[in-house]
Amino acid sequence: MTGRLTRITVLALSLAVLLGTPGRAAEKVTFMIDWLPAGDKAVPYLGVKKGLFAAEGLEVTIQSGRGSSDVVTKLGTGAADIGTGGLAALLQAKAETNVPVKAVYAIYTKQADAIFTTEGSGITSLKDVAGKKIATATFSSSNVAWPLVLRANGIDPASVQMLKVDPGALAPMLAAGQVVATINWVTVAAAFEGPVGEAKKKLVVLPWSNYGYDGYGLSLFVSEKMLRDRPAVVKKFVKAYAEATRMAIADPKAAAEALKAMVPEIDVATAEKQFVSSIPLMVNDVSRRDGDGAFDAKLLKTSWEWVAKAQNLPLDKLDPETAVDRAAAK
Amino acid sequence: MSDTTAAAPETTLPETDAAPTAPAAGVGTTLLAWLDRFAPALAFAAALAVWEAATWVFAIPSFLLPAPSAIVAAGLATPAEVWLGHIWATLRVALMGYLLAIAVSVPLAVALASSRLLSRTLYPMLVVVQSTPIVAVAPIIVVTLGASDLPRVVITFLITFFPIVVSTVTGLLSTPEELIELSRSLRAGRSREILHIRLPYAVPHLVSALKISTTLAVIGAVVAEFVAAERGLGFFILFSTSFFKIPAAFAGLVVLVAISLALFRLVGLAQKMLVPWSLPKSER
């Protein structure tokens, strides 16, 4: 009797699974990276290529945004479901318009902003920039914190001659000696090596995190609508993304190759270098202390304080806790 | 070495002197005709040679101004299927926007030319749309219409349609009054007047607007790709500069120019085949 019952149960269950299969079509997710495809953005490509998202029942399409604030806007309007961007951009947008987007996972637990200069330029530390001509991208998120970082290090921002240019002009200007330094994320360094090397110069990178600029950088953003309507999808995505990150850190070359397979214009060697340069931003004392992806309340507050000071916003304009949702990363 | 080359013309000189004058004049005219025929190509080749030489002589680094040879090398380094993918993406958006512009502009022009009220109410609006810098509005259009081909086609359309409307209206209104009066006296209806008299008169205007709009359509597609795209030549150029691969970006530009030229010629060819009477006699 029990044997028969078991057999019926098994039969019923297999039938349910069979019937259930068509209904379990892959969940579509549009994922937007914050800038054009490059080595430091290889993680989602590796996740797609290795089938990590597919294993969670997700069909992920990757789109390239045009800056962190573009990603926040696209998520807010529903043009994309999940994306990456600098946390500062989200905090600023939250404070100003209360955009319905939240950060769910901290990718960079150190700030990626840095001074790029060349050997022999006379700049060996942050204080040397006083009186020098420096170029930055017109819409770079770094521009917001820059004067504060200078002031925190006892440098008058007015003493630095700033030039705002197109991002594509930064490396040529540095290589040609039109400026003595540029402001970039450390992850772009490998791409600078072409022009700087052609000019027979050697690139020097001075990360702002060495000068007291703390806070969360690149993070995963999700629209509040997505968190409300498809929380399970967000959870699965974060799980697969975290796994892809671990795989990429263990094998940066595989990550670069996965990127190349989906974006054929990529140069694997440069992409690998770019990804390797982003590893210290992800694996560091903060990530070891708090765990992967976690937002520590104190560091989150520090991140907001930098933004508030830079934007001249009152500190109580935003409770930074309202900009994050920690449930998805659990 | 230099002696022999210097001596060579001297030995040939008496021969030309001795030759009868008539064939010499013939040689002169063929040379002139040859020069006349190939002057554009020669001038282009000379400009390229000067450019190439300048980058060598002044040691201009490739990130400031790549030599033509470096641009060709970068173009060849990109696989053909990658190029085709980008070309197809840009061409598709450009053509969709272009065709949409024609489909909207011609009927709109007819409406504007036939009704004073419409002309007075719609024309100022069209001028406002045309005066808006589309490059500045493009990001907003993308946010509003989502990330698909639609915003790109709309951006291309907005850049393309105005010259077609204006030229077609001008053409429609340039029909000689006598012809209109004659057709009316023969009791031709309004639609016949437009289809058989006004529109044929507008064809030369329309065709020149269509020619201008081909290049505008390519510009529109590229502007749209700068704002949001994963494929296309605009994306390729932006991507190449993000890695500071300036020769590759220039190669993308060359391909864009080639597409614009090809489309421009295609409209010319279509005019020759479909409406040859609209061409000046010398060009038929």
pLDDT tens readout for residues B238-247: 999 988 889 9
Low-confidence ranges of chain B (pLDDT < 70): 1-25
* Residue A171 burial (10 A CB sphere; 0-12, 13-18, 19+): buried
* CATH 1.10.3720.10 placement within chain B: 69-283
Residues 6+ apart with CB under 8 A from A36: A64, B238, B239, B242
Architecture of the domain whose range is B69-283: Orthogonal Bundle (1.10)
Q: What is the pLDDT of residue A8?
A: 56
Q: What's the mean pLDDT in A241-246?
A: 97
Q: Note the pLDDT tens digit of each residue in B187-204.
A: 888 888 888 888 998 999
Query: What integer pLDDT is reported at residue A213 of this predicted model?
Result: 94
Task: Give pLDDT, residue A312.
Answer: 87
pLDDT on residue B144: 84
pLDDT at residue A139, as a whole number: 78
B61 CB neighbours in chain A (<8 A) are: 172, 175-176, 195, 198-199
Q: How far is A75 from chain B (nearest CA, A)?
A: 10
The helix/strand/coil state of A184 is strand
Check if A82 contacts B (Cβ < 8 Å). no
pLDDT for position A237: 97
Q: The complex's ipTM?
A: 0.76
Q: How far is CA B6 from CA A138, A171, B10, B11, B18, in A?
A: 59, 49, 8, 10, 21
pLDDT at A165: 92
| A30 with B62: Cβ contact below 8 A | no
Q: Do domains A27-110+215-329 and A113-211 have the same CATH topology?
A: yes
Give residue-wise pLDDT tens across range A72-107. 999 998 889 999 999 999 999 999 888 999 999 999
Predicted confidence (pLDDT) per residue in B153-174, tens digit? 999 999 999 999 999 999 999 8
Mutate to test the interface with B, among A30, A33, A36 (most CBs of B within 10 A): A36
- The answer, yes or no, to whether residue A16 has pLDDT greater than 60, is no
- Contact A64/B146, CB-based, under 8 Å? no
A27-110+215-329: which CATH topology? D-Maltodextrin-Binding Protein; domain 2 (3.40.190)
- Residues of chain B contacting A195 with CB distance shorter than 8 Å: 61, 63, 244
CATH class name, domain A113-211: alpha beta
- CA–CA separation, A212 and A6 (whole Å): 65
Beta A113-118 vs A181-185: how paired, if at all? antiparallel
In this predicted structure, the answer to whether residue A23 has a pLDDT above a threshold of 60 is no
Chain B CA closest to residue A190? B243
β-bridge partners, A114: A184, A207
* Cβ atoms of A281 and A274 closer than 8 Å: no
Angle, vertex CA A121, rays to CA A119 and CA A126, nearest 5: 95
- pTM for this predicted structure: 0.81
In chain B, DSSP assigns E strands to none
Structural domain boundaries in chain A = 27-110+215-329, 113-211
